[in-house]
């Protein structure tokens, strides 16, 4: 596919960022493109706003899966681009417009020169939340067309165009959202002894849980608890009856995630006793670690020399990706694609270089042609 067509598709998709499981315009756009391709070797099935596209290979003994996420973020775009988001308050600030465009470009290329293996393109909704990978894995379509291996990419603003990055083993962390509410008794600021102050209780809790990381996690392991938002009360001279904390947990092992959640619940119980209040916790969306299969990463790095793309070793990151659920069930890998943006992921000024679209299509297409699927 020519650069201009890839650019047009990306800009069209960039203008319609939709939140998880609300990607109706995006779904329609993708379906229109898929239906415009020669259909004799293609089968299509949908699930909610997601799409499965199976391309029959010339031999078809194995199936290679390729995942592209399709949702946007509730972030106001500040790029000033002529093709900025037309949906107020939403933006493709994580590069999913790039991910979809590259998948469509690869699909078109593979219909023109079919690979040996079958290919299952998975256009997945709700990666940013509440999570679409796990329920897609559980669909009848996925069970029927289950791939033998699966891979995906994510744009990397800090890497130059023409560079990709990955590593064997752990690439992304286990992550969990964190929502905690404390309920006490409000009252006049002049009579604190008649109240149960939830601003104080919540503040104490935030300080207390830092001990989990500092004193309960093996220093050779890594974990993070961040409380990024705290709300309590509604006016300066009334003691708060309710306080809410919102944050995230990130760990390098599933065991550490379980341990931290158990300790958080113990600390909530301690606050309840100390401040005579009630606490509740909700872990929201949880993402399993992205763990790359060594054999496929080795094949990937050696294949890149065929397309003139530079490979660099990636560090493990505390970012989360629900693609990890697919890799938990199916061997494969994920890689970073350099897009050379001055602003990073989830930033309202993210502006990836569109030259990376051609690189992405070339890498994905060549990998599908060259991949040796192991048992």
- Residue 239 β-bridge partners: 187
Contact 238, 186 (CB under 8 A): yes
Q: Which of 18, 23, 69, 321 is catalytic?
A: 69
Q: What are phi and psi of 233, to 5 degrees?
A: 75, 180
CA distance 91 to 371: 34
Q: Is 265 a catalytic residue?
A: no
Q: Is 69 a catalytic residue?
A: yes
Contact 335, 371 (CB under 8 A): no
| Cα-based distances in Å from 88 to 4, 20, 22, 74, 141 | 27, 16, 14, 9, 34
CA distance 52 to 50: 7
Q: Which of 128, 181, 293, 321 is catalytic?
A: 128
204-228 b/e with 16+ CB inside 10 Å = b?
Answer: bbeebbeebbeeebeeeebbbbebe
CA distance 127 to 71: 7
Residue for token digits 């006490």?
A: 184
CA distance 108 to 258: 43
**229: number of Cβ within 10 Å:** 10
By CB atoms closer than 10 A (0-12, 13-18, 19+), residue 58 is exposed
Contact 216, 196 (CB under 8 A): no
Contact 215, 163 (CB under 8 A): no
Which residues belong to the active site? 69, 128
């Amino acid at each position: 596919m020519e650069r201009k067509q890839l650019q047009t598709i990306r800009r069209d998709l960039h203008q319609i960022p939709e939140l998880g499981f609300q990607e109706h315009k995006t779904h329609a756009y993708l379906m229109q493109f898929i239906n415009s391709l020669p259909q004799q070797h293609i089968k299509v099935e949908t699930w909610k706003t997601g799409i499965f596209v199976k391309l029959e290979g010339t031999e078809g003994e194995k199936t290679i899966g390729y995942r592209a996420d399709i949702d946007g973020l509730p972030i106001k775009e500040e790029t000033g681009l002529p093709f900025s988001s037309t949906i107020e308050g939403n933006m493709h600030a994580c590069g999913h417009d790039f991910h979809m465009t590259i998948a469509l470009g690869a699909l078109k290329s593979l219909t023109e020169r079919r690979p040996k293996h079958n290919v299952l393109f998975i256009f997945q909704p709700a990666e940013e939340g509440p999570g679409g990978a796990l329920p897609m894995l559980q669909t009848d379509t996925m069970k029927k067309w289950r791939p033998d291996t699966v891979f995906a990419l994510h744009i990397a603003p800090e890497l130059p165009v023409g560079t990709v990055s990955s590593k064997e083993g752990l690439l992304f962390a286990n992550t969990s959202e964190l929502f905690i509410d404390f309920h006490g008794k409000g009252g006049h600021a002049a009579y604190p002894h008649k109240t149960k102050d939830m601003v104080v209780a919540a503040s104490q809790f935030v300080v207390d849980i830092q001990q989990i990381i500092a004193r309960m996690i093996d220093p050779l392991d890594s974990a993070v608890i961040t409380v990024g938002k705290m709300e309590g009360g509604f006016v300066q001279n009334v003691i708060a009856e309710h306080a809410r904390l919102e944050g995230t947990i990130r760990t390098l092992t599933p065991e550490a995630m379980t341990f931290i959640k158990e300790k958080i619940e113990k600390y909530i119980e301690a606050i309840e006793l100390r401040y005579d209040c009630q606490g509740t916790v909700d872990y929201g969306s949880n993402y399993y670690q992205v763990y790359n299969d060594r054999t496929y990463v080795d094949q990937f790095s050696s294949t890149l020399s065929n397309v003139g793309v530079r490979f660099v070793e990636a560090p493990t990151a505390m970012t989360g990706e629900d693609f990890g659920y697919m890799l938990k069930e199916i061997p494969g890998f994920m890689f970073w694609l350099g897009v050379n943006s001055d602003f990073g992921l989830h930033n309202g000024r993210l502006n990836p270089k569109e030259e990376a679209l051609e690189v992405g299509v070339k890498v994905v297409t060549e990998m599908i042609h060259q991949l040796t699927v192991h048992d």
